[in-house]
Each structure stands twice: as structure tokens, then as C-alpha cells.
Structure 1
Amino acid sequence: MTQHREEEWVPPGIDTTKPSSSRTYDYLLGGAHNFQADRDAAEQAEKIMPGIRDVARLNRAFLGRVVRTLMDLGIRQFLDIGSGIPTVGNVHQIAAELDPRCRVVYVDRDPIAVAHSKMLLRASETATITHGDFTDPDGIFADPDVRRLDFGEPVGLLMVAMLHWIPDASDPHTLLAEYRRRVPPGSYLAISHMISDQEGNRINTAVGTFNRARGQDQATTRTFGEVAAMFGDFELIEPGLVGCALWRPGGPGDISDDPYTNTQLYGGVARKVAG
């Protein structure tokens, strides 16, 4: 990005020399909405956790399959928490292919991601992004853009590759209970998350090294049981909580030749069946 183009979408006072998880993820997916600090962080992550680009790709493919599945189940509005930058293959693009009237609200805590996303979405009549933090559900549900969704109808609540950036000190399980409470029956919750059970020593060592190198946006691995508990009393739909690549794959591009890569992130979708 040139300095001139950066100035078009970087809010005043933002230090672009510090990487963010959303822009680093954008770079891993081959996007152009990132800075040198984000690219350096991604290259460093690749050295620490070889194959992380494939993990990012498989996670994005998982997101696409989730959106298509939920639309097949009748969902026509999505709330994507920790969305990052909605570039190629994101929720609103997939949804529009199936129903142009589908409404999508993205939420992210990175002000640069939000500012740039507003530019990308400015021509859209059905998709928008707002600044918000998962740890403040009151603020998110009071946001005017979020309130454009009809919470009298089921919602697809997406938290994809986001919750492992929430430390245990923030009590994500209690926060998730609040999100589950606020969506109506018939809604679905989709989660993908790093799992420590799969070659735990390997991933925990890699994540520890990554965290020491980054200094911010610290990642937290969790066990299969801890991630499964994040769905609360929502009912998991088939095939349950599995490696992202193994969740309803549609073809060879959805699965890696490396079994470890297929299960570095686990994903699942669950339905709210009671009020």
C-alpha cells in the first residue's frame, strides 16, 4: 500500500507499525489490506507454526460452508463477531449469491479493519461493519448497525477463529452465555477455535513462542471439552465439533493432505432450540 492510499482508511492516531490479528489473517489469506508489520508477523508465525497459511485457508473455507449451510436452513441474517476485514469469500459475498436480500453485520475491535471495511462495503445495501468488542455484549447489541437486524427472527451468530484471542481472564464462557441468551430460538452459533488436544505439546509450544514474539493479541489454546462447552445448551448439528476441514467438506480444496493441518482448528455449528 502506498502512504497516500493508507491515509485514506487509517484512522488518526493509529500506530500501523504494530500488527493486528485481523490484518495478519488478511495477509495469510492472500489479501492486500495489511501493513508491513502485519506481513512480518505473518511470516514469523509461519516459521513458528509451519502450515498456518493452509490453516487460515481451511478456516475461511469452513466459514463459507457454514454460511451456505445456514442459508439452506433458512437463516437470512448474520452477526459476525471478530470478523476482521471482509475480503474475498466472506459472509456477505457468499450470502448474496444465494439471496441478495440477506443482511450481514460485521463487528471488529480493530479500528483500522473497521475503517477499511466501511470503504469496501460502502456500496452495499445489506452489509455493514461496526466497531465493537466481544467482551462488551451490551455495547454490541445496543449498536445502531447491529439493531438493524431483526432479533425477532433467527440469526446466524458467527465467531470464527476469534475466541482463541479472548483470554481466560475475560471469562469467555460467561460472555458467550450472554450472546446465546440474546439471540432468538432457531438461531445458530458457529465457532472455530484452536484445540490443544491435538498434539497439545506441539501447538502449545508454538503458541507460547508466538505470544512471546507478538506481545499483543495473545492467543489461548483450549481443550476439546472447553470449546464444546462454548455452545452451552445449543444443540450441535452434524457432524458436531470436528476439525474445520472435516466439517461437511465439499471437495479436495476443503481438506489438506496433512491431518494435523485439518485439525489445528476445530469448528462446529449449534442451534438454539428453546427460549
Structure 2
Amino acid sequence: MTPGTPKSQVDTSKPHPARIYDYLLGGKDNYAVDQALAGQLTPEAREGARQNRAFMHRAVGWVARSGVDQFLDIGTGIPTEPNLHQIVQEVNPRARIVYTDNDPIVLRHAEALLISTPEGLTDYIEADVRRPDEILDHARTLLDFRRPVALSLIALMHFVPDEDDPYGITRTLVEALAPGSCLVLSHLTGDFLTPEQNRISEYRSSGINLRPRTRAEVERFFEGLDLVEPGLVTHWYKDTPAPRDATGTDLLYSGIARVR
């Protein structure tokens, strides 16, 4: 971790996506305001959080096994084991990981829990994805951008509204990557929700600007990249087939793409 990082204040008066996600995963690093909002969501939300976490595990493990040993994870969230660095450093103990989130409570947990192997490195920057150049400037001090880097945007860009140019942000980040790098992305969708299951208004009324997107809209994040099979799907599996008992409402599109 970077020494001397200033301590930001944690605002417990408003719900925060990282803490709601932690609650949905069964974690304890959340507050009453987060629990209250999560309580208004449907059971599908909890299952969607679990599916998203499982996608991260499978995806970054596959990327690490494919030979990429540098990871830039933006929108880290509150650490929940196994964390990204634990998965990839089990494949390659020398892997280097830079974590980024804009919630100060994540920083406090990151300092204690996101600990690297002796051979590798983990670091953390408190920053907002809407300032991609700031993130890249920090990451370049720790990662070699002349070599492949895996950019992880897991369940993040649906919190970036259209007026903040989510596609431009992603393009700025991807254009900094060397050929052979990967974009790992999952994104909330309302394509499969019934009106009774849709709780987007509850999120927005709490001050969280949630923007689910259609499949075509999510696919735009991968423009100019080569999607890895099976492409952009609701259940991404590469090395093993999806379980036959996979049921429930699909809430996310996910995929991995290579930089040319």
C-alpha cells in the first residue's frame, strides 16, 4: 500500500454501492442505511451479487492462467475473500495488482486485507473512475504498461450515468493498454426484469445514480476489442461449463476482451 495516504471521512448517512454489495454478499462492513436500501431490493439482487462475484473469480483466474500478470482493478469494493489478488497470485505469485475505489471505507479495509505475496505486489489508490487519467498516472508507477495489463471493471460502469461519458472513460483506460491486455467487465441490465422485480427507482431515490444498460449498450464497452469466447453473456464460463441448475433472473452481462 502507498504510505501516507490521507484518511477520508466515511459518510454513514447515505448508502454506498460498495457497502450494499458487501451486505448482499453476507458481509458485515456496512451500515444501517445500506441495509435499509438493500432490504427494499428483491431476492434477485442478492443472487445477482453472488453471480457477479463468481464471475470475477472465474474471469481473473482465466486471465492469469493465460499469462497476464498485471491487474488494474477499478471499483474494488470491500474486500471479500478470496480477493482478486489472492486468485491471481495463486496462479502466479509474482502478479502485481493495483486496486482502486472511491469509498474511504474500502481503503481502510484494503490496507489491512489486500496483502500481497512476498514475490508480488498489491497497491491501492482512492480515486474515482470518472478521473481515469489520475488512476492511470498512479498505476504507471507500479505496473509496466508496455506489457499486457488486465483492466477489471466489475459491476462498476452501471454507476456511471450517460452524462459522465462511460464509454469515453473506458476508451481512455483501454487505449493506455498494450496489445494482449484484457478488459474484464460485468454490467447490470434490466433486460430480463419484470416490472415487479425492477427496483432501480429505490436506488435512485437514495442518491445512487444507477444506470442499467441493454445488451447492445453493454457491447459498446468492448468496441475495437476482440471478445473472448463465449462472448458477452449472462453466465460467463470459459474452462468449465455452466452448471445445469443455474436458474433465476439474469441481472448482468459479462465478458472478457483482448486488446489488439
Is TM more than 0.5 here?
Answer: yes
Give the structure with the larger helix fraction.
1
Q: 1:210 to 1:16 in 2, by over 3 A?
A: closer
TM-superposed CA distance for 1:234, in Å, is: 0.6
The secondary structure found in structure 1 opposite 2:222 is coil
Q: 1:196 to 1:12 in 2, by over 3 A?
A: closer
User: What residue is the counterpart of 1:4 in the other structure?
Assistant: none
The answer on 1:220 being equivalent to 2:215 is no
Q: 1:123 to 1:240 in 2, by over 3 A?
A: closer
8 Å CA contact 1:54–1:256 kept in 2: the answer is: no
8 Å CA contact 1:163–1:193 kept in 2: the answer is: yes
Counterpart of 1:28 (choices 24, 27, 37) is 24
User: What residue is the counterpart of 1:16 in the other structure?
Assistant: 12
User: What residue is the counterpart of 1:76 in the other structure?
Assistant: 69
- How far apart in 1 are the matches of 2:214 and 2:158? 11
Mapping of 1:1-275 within 5 angstroms?
Answer: 11=7, 13-45=9-41, 49-121=42-114, 125=118, 126-143=121-138, 147-199=141-193, 201=195, 205-212=198-205, 214=206, 216-243=207-234, 245-248=235-238, 250=240, 256-258=246-248, 260=249, 263-273=250-260
- How far apart in 2 are the matches of 1:171 and 1:107? 19
The secondary structure found in structure 2 opposite 1:19 is coil
| TM-score relative to the length of structure 2 | 0.89
8 Å CA contact 1:58–1:254 kept in 2: the answer is: no
How large is the RMSD of aligned CA atoms in angstroms?
A: 2.3
Q: 1:187 to 1:255 in 2, by over 3 A?
A: farther
The secondary structure found in structure 1 opposite 2:27 is coil
Percent identical across equivalent pairs? Answer: 37
Letter in 2 for 1:135: R
Q: 1:14 to 1:251 in 2, by over 3 A?
A: same
Q: 1:175 to 1:12 in 2, by over 3 A?
A: closer
Q: 1:13 to 1:61 in 2, by over 3 A?
A: closer
8 Å CA contact 2:23–2:29 kept in 1: the answer is: yes
8 Å CA contact 1:24–1:42 kept in 2: the answer is: yes
- How far apart in 2 are the matches of 1:35 and 1:199? 27
| TM-score relative to the length of structure 1 | 0.84
TM-superposed CA distance for 1:123, in Å, is: 6.5
TM-superposed CA distance for 1:238, in Å, is: 0.2
- How far apart in 2 are the matches of 1:230 and 1:106? 21
8 Å CA contact 1:157–1:190 kept in 2: the answer is: yes
The secondary structure found in structure 2 opposite 1:159 is strand
Q: 1:232 to 1:255 in 2, by over 3 A?
A: farther
8 Å CA contact 2:10–2:103 kept in 1: the answer is: no
Q: 1:69 to 1:124 in 2, by over 3 A?
A: closer
The secondary structure found in structure 1 opposite 2:43 is coil
Q: 1:110 to 1:12 in 2, by over 3 A?
A: closer
The secondary structure found in structure 2 opposite 1:230 is helix
Residue deviations 1:13-48 (CA, integer Å, cap 9, x gap): 432232210111112112222222222222222xxx
8 Å CA contact 2:204–2:210 kept in 1: the answer is: yes
Give 5+ residue unaligned stretches, structure 2: 1-5
Letter in 1 for 2:126: H
